[in-house]
Structure 1
């Protein structure tokens, strides 16, 4: 296990992506059945032999963390001798579930548009920001009201996503919004992906028509 290369781990912690990094790292460690070293449910034993084995596993997880952060973070983590202490440090410093982080996400979402991105790339960026924002908001919502808030947010999320598409998709999203029953975001995304594929196919066909068109040349007598 110590030789794991983290092939499936695609997110590297750079300081501003803690929520996404934490989510994927947590799943990875749970898959290795070592999450107890981080959340404190698997404390260091007193027996010398058991402690030695525990320390080896703890070192594995610390090594994974050090392998998945930018180099300049490594020195900051050096003082911590257990993965739980290392994890708590990162969580305390970078998990900004507060008004500052919320304001930052609101600003990013307000200014985030499709631009030159593909539908899939645009949705990925939009989804990441919205998920981080929702996690902060929902943390302060009473359980009894959570379902209602989530329903309202789902509508707002869909509308914001559609309204910030490229002009090429204006007719498509307008048709979606004007339906008697407006589809969910997932259904809208599916239709937009098909629309994008048609646009790409049409552009490719037009390109080949232009390339293969006969060229007439006049020769001087």
Structure 2
């Protein structure tokens, strides 16, 4: 028979298996992860009383030697909030019972608060269906851990009431069934509906954005200080003082790229609108290319 691995390999495996440390809010999920691990290592008997500490003094030391790695495994899986519950405990069983008593309360107040939370459950506007269902299931799981499991049909009713209106078709189909729909199947149906809605929005949204861009063309600063409609107000002609730039003015340096000015070759105006067409005496000759800004 092969001997169980040593405690260092236990810790290495545990860090890969236990992805969540125990907090006051995830006891059910933490226990779901750690119990199979302890059973697989044949350690679970130390925490469920099936392998208690022996009465014979000659066997006590050997038992504690085996129990020490189990204590280490449990302690290493605790968050800072849960760590105080392990302080001062001498065996893994004592730590296990302390955690169970603290985080698996069966008090009337605890059970009442969980039921109220389910009744007030509402899917948030930007919450995905997976996030919402996990939140709903966490409340049901906590009730089960407290000894008050919720029937499937009751759990479904809370979920149906809390879903956004866009999932109404799925809710109607599920309620028409003879047998209550399972959590897994409901999750799959709602996930498919969510994907379909998102696909339709992905098709329609780009069209809306493009229309908005067309309705609001971008504006660029004037490319020539003497152009018609420039912000300096020095332009002549229809642009007038302070008129906005546009395809008919000099504000766009390539507005007439296909038919540039035949006098100077600029592409932001044509010859009939050229400021230098009747250049007065003493006026400097413009540069070969329009200035850029």
1:64 pairs with one of 46, 49, 73 = 73
CA–CA separation in structure 2 for the residues paired with 1:16 and 1:100: 16
Distance in 1, matches of 2:122 and 2:64, equals 47
CA contact (8 A) 2:153 2:180 kept: no
Give 1:214 shift.
10
Maintained 8 Å contact 1:19/1:132? yes
**Displacement, 1:210?**
4.5
1:13-34 C-alpha deviation (Å, 9 max, x unpaired) = 2223333323332222112221
Stretch moving more, 5-14 or 76-85: 5-14
Shift in Å, 1:130 = 1.2
Where 1:39 maps in the other structure, the secondary structure is coil
1:212 shift after superposition: 6.1
Cα separation, partners in 2 of 1:158 and 1:53, compared to 1, 3 Å:
same
Give 1:128's aligned residue: 138
Task: Please show how residues 110-189 of structure 1 align to structure 2 within 5 Å.
Answer: 110-115=119-124, 116-138=126-148, 153-177=151-175, 179=176, 181=178, 184-186=181-183, 187-189=185-187
Aligned residue for 1:146?
A: none
Gaps of 5+ in 1: 140-149
Aligned CA RMSD, in angstroms, stands at 3.0
Q: For 1:86-97, what aligned pairs fall within 5 Å after superposition?
A: 86-97=95-106
Instruction: Verify the 8 A CA contact 1:119 1:193 in the aligned structure 2.
Output: yes
Q: Which structure carries more relative contact order (alpha carbon 8 Å, separation 6+)? A: 1
Give the CA deviation at 1:11.
2.9
- TM-score scaled by length of structure 1: 0.77
Q: Secondary structure at the match of 1:61?
A: helix
Equivalence for 2:194: 196
Distance 1:78 1:72 in 2: 12
Point out where structure 2 has 5 or more consecutive residues left out of the alignment. Answer: 1-5, 219-245, 249-293
Alignment correspondent of 2:113: 104
Query: Residue 247 of structure 2 aligns with which residue?
Result: 220
* Cα distance in structure 2, aligned partners of 1:106 and 1:170: 24
CA separation of 1:86 and 1:215: change in aligned 2, threshold 3 A: closer
Partner SS state of residue 114, structure 2: helix
How many pairs were matched up? 207
Q: How far off its partner does 1:74 sit? A: 2.8
Question: Taking structure 1 as reference, are residues 159 and 95 closer, same or farther at Cα in structure 2, changes over 3 Å only?
Answer: closer
Give me the TM-score of the superposition, normalised by structure 2: 0.60
Give the drift of 1:83.
0.6
Counterparts of 2:69 and 2:210, CA distance in 1: 59
- CA–CA distance in structure 2, aligned partners of residues 71 and 103 of structure 1: 27
Deviation string 1:61-101 (CA, Å, 9 cap, x unpaired) is 21222222222443442211211111122223332022122
How far 1:103 sits from its partner (Å)? Answer: 0.7
Q: CA deviation at 1:51?
A: 5.7
